[in-house]
Structure 1
Amino acid sequence: MIGTILGNRYRLEERIGGGGMALVFRATDLQLGREVAVKVLRGQYSADDEFVRRFRREAHNAACLSHPNIVQTYDVGEDGGTHYIVMELVRGKTLKALIQEQGALPVAEAARIGIAIADALAHAHAQRIVHRDIKPHNILLGEDGRIKVADFGIARAVTTDTVTRTGAMVGSAHYFSPEQANGQPAGEKSDLYSLGVVLYEMVTGTLPFQGESPITVALKHLQERVVPPSELNAEVPVEMDEIILRAMEKEPDDRFESAIQMRDALADFLQLHEEGRTHMRGGDFPTMDLRAVKGRRAKTRQKRHPEADASRRARRRTLIIVASVLVVMLGGLGAAGWALWKFLDVPEVVVPDIVGMHITQAEELLRQAKLQRTIVSERYSDLDQLYILEARPEPGSVVKEGAVIELVVSKGPETVEVPNVVGMNIDQAKAALRTERFQIGNIKEEVSSRPQGEVIAQAPLARTPVKVGSEVDLTVSLGPLIVPKVVGLKLEDAQKALAEAGLQAGTVDQRHDAAEAGTVLASTPAGGTQVTPGQRVDLVVSAGPELVGKQFSQPLVVPVLPSERARFKVVLVDQIEGATEPSESTLIDEELQGGEQVIVSGTYYGEAYLIIYVNDVERLRYPLQ
């Protein structure tokens, strides 16, 4: 799309980012002469009228946001089916890039960034707009030091559509809230949870929950306890721990009441921290005093005898190992006997029918049946993420209470980027698409300047992520439009051939020729010439061979009495060879005196004669030689 001008105003210069829903370009506003960022909705969503309606509504909502910590939206538009949002271009880097470069950030810097994000969220929430995808990737750190929250609008439109219609999880698995992981609608407090995760990553350099797949991470958001940041980074004060852990409470009601309240809590913490009045885990010491305490402890350790310390540590380890072995052995015997007795006495239950349910619904049914569960594998399917594909033992099986049911869950539909087949021969394009597991959709042929059989357009566009097995429509070149050869055809047939080729028949001129009358003698442009669709083609057709005529001059007398006057009319009748009917022409038609002599003359080409009428009554037929 580089070089494309949208809305006769925004020229796309360079792709600078993008995700599953949209691509982001650096562009030039040709009217104002400034650089902007243009976010273009991927083609696969442009065909969904409901999605486009929501997208435009939410994009307009985003344009209403005016806050120093929110990327400003300038314009929203559509050009030839391409929907786009024009935004402020922020030069700098993302918060994610900064964390990847530096690891854990200083607590004060993290607090200042958190305050800016919370302030932006407070403004958006006041306008009843929820971001729903707060993550370091969407936090821009400008070269001028400004902090900007991006991706308002599309995140909202995408979430609204997918959550309300399919119950699918939306957002980034590492940052979304338990309610989003549970497939529930996300509200303002979901943004606060995500901000808590961002703060956690800033002060520790790592994420609170990690796993091999988004589903694993989602389940940890739902079920696992958050390890306090200070346990990973001793430089994190208890007060920051409390802010982050409160923001990341599993229940929305247990989090901050609003983004304003969370912003104020961060602001209060920052002031206390800069004054040296925050506290570290392990003691109620102000931050500044803690360093002195650490120094005294280090000096005390240096005064101890190294050899004595090593001996004491060795004896302590030996005692711990021996005691542990005894406890394990005795405990194991007792546990085995207890387990055997409990197994023989455990009632049986039926595995509920949980296939096709969301994991949270399945867990509730298993809990009611006093069964446990474990996810043994995940695979792609037509079901959304975290829906059950298989249960082992199968639903309806009889098992002991407390048995573990093995689950196979859905990873959602597998998606893959559409390959770029524009420029390929149609057969090559089909092979490339089939190799990537796509179906060939509609194939349309169009006249173009490209060689015949070359693919000139595709839908969805290249690099669009779509479901495996989706159809890709192709437009194939018919090659340049060529004027058909119509010389030698009858006029009617020539005009039909031009129409079928997508051309218009223009003027039709005649000239005498040896060819049969009505035969096309020439066309302009000539046959074989490359033209554009709808162009006019003028024709010249034969009027037949040019005839050689015979001239005559014949004296006639008005056949009535000299005292009378009569209407005297003479008609030339000429039967030309090849003509279906004779031609007639009137040579004289006047009222004359009886006996008056007149001379009629003309030219004839076949067998001809004169018809003489007196007072409209035929009186004589006179052959011409």
Structure 2
Amino acid sequence: MMDATVADPLIGQVLDGRYRIESRIARGGMATVYLARDTRLDRVVAIKVMHAGLATDEEFVRRFIGEAKAAAALSNPNVVAVYDQGTDGEHVFLVMEYVRGRTLRDVLSERGRLGPRAALEIMQPVLAALGAAHRAGLVHRDVKPENVLITEDGQAKVADFGLARAETASGMTKTGMIIGTVGYLAPEQVLSGSADVRSDVYAAGTMLFELLTGELPHQGDTPLAVAYKHVNDAVPAPSTWVPGLPHRLDVLVLRATAREPGHRPQDANAMLAEVAEVCAGLPRDFDARMGTAMPPPGGRTSVLPAPGMAPPGDSRTRVFDARTAPSNLAPPPPRRTASDRAIGALTGRYVLIAIGALAAVILGWAVWYQTSGQYDHVPEQIIGMRVADARNQLEQGGLDVRVAEPVFNDRVAKGQVASTAPGPGARITEGSTITLTPSKGRTPRDVPDVAGKTEAEARRILRGKGFTPGQVSKATSQQVAKDRVMRTDPRAGTSQSPDEPVDIVVSSGMSMPSLVGRNGQEAENQLRGMGLDVKVEKRKQDGRRPGAVISQDPEPGTGVSRGDEVTLVVNERDCFFREFFCDDGDRGDGERIPVPNVMGQPLDQARKALRDSGFDVKIGSRFGNRVVGQNPVGGEAPRGSEITIWG
């Protein structure tokens, strides 16, 4: 059979005039990964080249490029860096950091499972990488051991951000991809195909279960059977598969893999905090004590179960390092003489008597403890529950519950339990008092100033600062242009928790007055004083007073902004000798008209508004581009008189 490297036509080619393909690393369901050299920077890189079928799918390529850009923006030492993305002829490719090492799947295949501390220590950098993506609004969608790379110096890095979304968008079926991923799919991904940051949390919790037990929690003969279990069956506690695992690990895994997304940690950063807390509570030699210390590479040296694990013959029996085996399993016992056996029998009789007496004491103490001295533990899953639900559960357990004043908490949503006293896991006796402290939401921060922005821009800015845009209302304004934000509620600079919505007030502009029937010249002057661009049309209409407004556009009450064009239709006068047959009030000789207030406007705009209103304009001293002084300000002045403004 011809060597794959020799047969691959890309070997030896230079993509985009820069990346020389040197060898093939791996081939997957959607791409082939090559080792290459960046000839421009003279460094080794990994290049993922999309398969031809995907490269011709325009929707896939569009999504792929967008997600690649988002992934390239991530700056975290635990994320496989994305350097470049490009197209060379029929080849769509992604240039990434080349990681020397192996995948977490390789580690699991070699060692079976990991000890609790080892598993938690690997999960922390994985969650840190996912947390960086979640802060950037990016969802991985395909968290699994195959996408976690372990470098030669033991550092964990997460790869393939965004590729799962791009492939899903392509609408193409890839059975290999489905089979490889279905074991980690969150229920909402199975039911609707949608995924958010909490779907990544579910996959991370499933992966932690696998690290602790060596098996996926849901298994079946077909991908459909596995998907069905994700939707309908809860993930079991890891300690039911590996006896001896700490209770806090069970709580951690069960919270992360809750079938309801709202019951999980709200993102990878929240889960990271919980993982770090549990890990800090385990002694450094905990794995060695359990007999599950990670064996050396290639070193499955015994099939004897470690202490506290399943007995021989159990389907969940795990291998362990012979160096951690109890000493009484190592050397064979020496041969014994008859006298040795006699002494041993006598000694054994006394030992049995002593053991029996000790057992009776222990039994009596246990009976007393379960009747007179009964105790319980503060449930760890209370944190994050709704206060009413937590109270009900604790009171049903015979505890006296008190609720303290709410506090701000960045990890627990508003209305949920932020802390307890005594703390989770603490021993308490029946009838004891436990105090619940609710969360009143995330720590307050200043509401940003979005005045003058469009509604869409304001929403984007608020979300960028962690706030949720609330209701949008309209109000008239002489100063703020139509469809621009006037203010927020609460106002900019006010300190508020991001859990509370920020309402937006948008300007509907100035309200167009009702002018029909008014003197046309007066109506025109009023509109110009509002900063509007007035167009006057003449039309003859019998039965109406000459010179009066007979129609207007826009209609009364319509929102308008400075600079908008409005049209007045004025009834044309029917007179030949204006000075004899027209009313003096309509002549305009020496007429006084309103003076627009242009304070604060740009000088050019203010000058135009005054001239359009019928005045001459003089600009006095000028130190800036906006009007800081005006004479006269408002009131009325003769048409054609001079108005002075200063900048």
- Normalising to structure 1: TM-score of the pair? 0.43
Structure (1/2) with the larger strand percentage: 1
Larger radius of gyration: 1
Query: TM-score if structure 2 supplies the norm length?
Result: 0.42
